[in-house]
Structure 1
Amino acid sequence: MIPALSHVRNWIFDLDNTLYPVSANLFAMIDARIGEYVRTLLNCSPEEAHRVQKGYFHAHGTTLSGLMTEHAVDPYHYLDFVHDVDMSVLEQNEALIQALARLPGRKLVFTNGDAPYAEKVLDRLGLGRTFEAVHDVHATNYKPKPHPDAYAGMCQAYGIDPRESLFVEDMARNLKPAKDIGMVTVWIDNGSEQTPDEDRSFIDYTVSDLGSWLHDILED
């Protein structure tokens, strides 16, 4: 490990558009399903559904959190619906698989999705046995990233010292709470970020290809 990261004992990864490339368009399909859910729930036009969907995303962290707050939506029903997508678009990345296998210490997934969906994605990516655990939106008590409680809860659940941890995300805004508690932060700058004008001072590393970056930091 390069000296700057020799203290890292816990490697924490977001799932969507982080452990697979944004070009797979899997999350684009989920985004469309979310829009369909909102449109049906509110009996509104696609344009209005899109406005509500993105408004809740920015105000509450996820569309689900906004729907639960404003419309008492059942999270299990919602997640089952929006995650009903074709995962055949996902392909294994051998460079990433090998790099993750070489990382020293613990490896976890921290997602605003749910564990059943995450496990299907990981299996499809050839990473089904790579991670110790998936900390999902149910485990956050529906206070998703970037709510600070989500990060504190994950650290408490797994006995993680954030000062010995590194967090990888494609959504820059979700890295600030991690940096605030002492984590090293890595932003996957792949075009999926929905709030491009935000401050970036809390980002330690900006990378475009996770597998290549992991290989670079692992000294032979």
Structure 2
Amino acid sequence: MSTLTTERLPTDISADLRGVKAWVFDLDNTLYPVENQFMGLVEKRINDYVVRTSGLPADEALVMQKSFLHNYGTSLAGLMTRYQIDPHHFLAEVHDVPLDVLEPDTALRLGLERLQGPRIIFTNGSSVHAHRVLGKLGIDDLFDGVFALEDADLIPKPDPRTFEKMLTRFGIDPATACFFEDTPQNLDPAKMLGMTTVLVGPKAFSAEDDFIDYRTAALAPFLTTAILDGDPA
């Protein structure tokens, strides 16, 4: 499939997703817009956890946290490497945030309903967090499964082993699957496995990586206009 961008295309041209049989979605900042700052609440709790665990001032703890994200994929993986922490306690604490800024999106629901085949959530967050968010967005009934960090034995994306475990769990053929994600480096192993890749959100048009098939600022309009199997010729 050719690389296209929904914001740079004429209105009569849409992403061609014919042949896709399974749909895999990252959760945070992908299913809802990053502008609502929901993940900022989670990140504040993560920073507080790093401060408490490391004993560092907040600004130094933030630098450490960012290095964990870069080197290990998640703050949790870095904390587990450097400190003796209970990962399940960490996941429960940092995801225990109010959901007030999240709200159902009719356009998103309509876009998801168009997709034929299983729809899967693939997140570096916890299972409880994923189900809370899906419920608040009013789309939990549209998904056939969630593959969370616990299911990955706490090995986060972009580790290829985690992708393979997710695909095996749900019996997905990567050659006929599409993966939607807001973090560019998480699309690299997906593309290597043969998945169609879509970068969602504000980074969509700044990343130059050739493992990105499609780019869109927001998920709902992309799904609403995509060309799917069974659409009129």
Could you state the TM-score of these two structures normalised by the residue count of structure 1?
Answer: 0.94
Aligned to 2:201: 189
Higher helix share: 1
1:38 aligns with 2:44: no
Task: Report the 3-state secondary structure (helix = DSSP H, G, I; strand = E; otherwise coil) of the residue aligned with 1:213.
Answer: helix
Aligned to 2:219: 210
- The CA distance in 2 between the partners of 1:81 and 1:95, in whole Å, is 32
Aligned to 2:119: 107
1:213 to 1:108, Cα distance in 2 relative to 1, 3 A: same
AA of the residue aligned to 1:167:
F
Q: Residues 121-140 of structure 1, C-alpha deviation per residue, up to 9 Å, x if partnerless?
A: 00000111111111000111
1:22–1:191 CA contact under 8 A, matched in 2: no
Task: Report the 3-state secondary structure (helix = DSSP H, G, I; strand = E; otherwise coil) of the residue aligned with 1:87.
Answer: coil
Displacement of 1:3: 8.8
- The CA distance in 2 between the partners of 1:189 and 1:202, in whole Å, is 16
1:53 aligns with 2:62: no
Any residues of structure 2 matched to 1:1-220 within 5 Å, and which?
A: 4-191=16-203, 199-218=208-227, 219=231
Give the aligned CA root-mean-square deviation in angstroms.
1.7
Task: Report the 3-state secondary structure (helix = DSSP H, G, I; strand = E; otherwise coil) of the residue aligned with 1:153.
Answer: helix
- The CA distance in 1 between the partners of 2:17 and 2:123, in whole Å, is 23
- The CA distance in 2 between the partners of 1:129 and 1:140, in whole Å, is 23
2:77–2:154 CA contact under 8 A, matched in 1: yes
Displacement of 1:155: 0.8
Task: Report the 3-state secondary structure (helix = DSSP H, G, I; strand = E; otherwise coil) of the residue aligned with 1:84.
Answer: coil
Displacement of 1:83: 0.6
- The CA distance in 2 between the partners of 1:118 and 1:209, in whole Å, is 19
Could you state the TM-score of these two structures normalised by the residue count of structure 2?
Answer: 0.88
Gapped runs of 5+ residues in structure 1? none
Q: Residues 190-217 of structure 1, C-alpha deviation per residue, up to 9 Å, x if partnerless?
A: 2599xx6x65110000001211011111
1:184 to 1:206, Cα distance in 2 relative to 1, 3 A: same
1:211 to 1:88, Cα distance in 2 relative to 1, 3 A: same
Displacement of 1:5: 1.9
Report the identity percentage. Answer: 39
Task: Report the 3-state secondary structure (helix = DSSP H, G, I; strand = E; otherwise coil) of the residue aligned with 2:146.
Answer: strand
Q: Residues 99-129 of structure 1, C-alpha deviation per residue, up to 9 Å, x if partnerless?
A: 1012111100000001111000000001111
If asked which structure has higher relative contact order (CA below 8 Å, sep 6+), I would say: 2
Aligned residues: 216
- The CA distance in 1 between the partners of 2:102 and 2:15, in whole Å, is 34
Gapped runs of 5+ residues in structure 2? 1-13
Q: Residues 68-117 of structure 1, C-alpha deviation per residue, up to 9 Å, x if partnerless?
A: 12213211100111111110110111000011012111100000001111
Q: Residues 43-63 of structure 1, C-alpha deviation per residue, up to 9 Å, x if partnerless?
A: 110011101101111000000
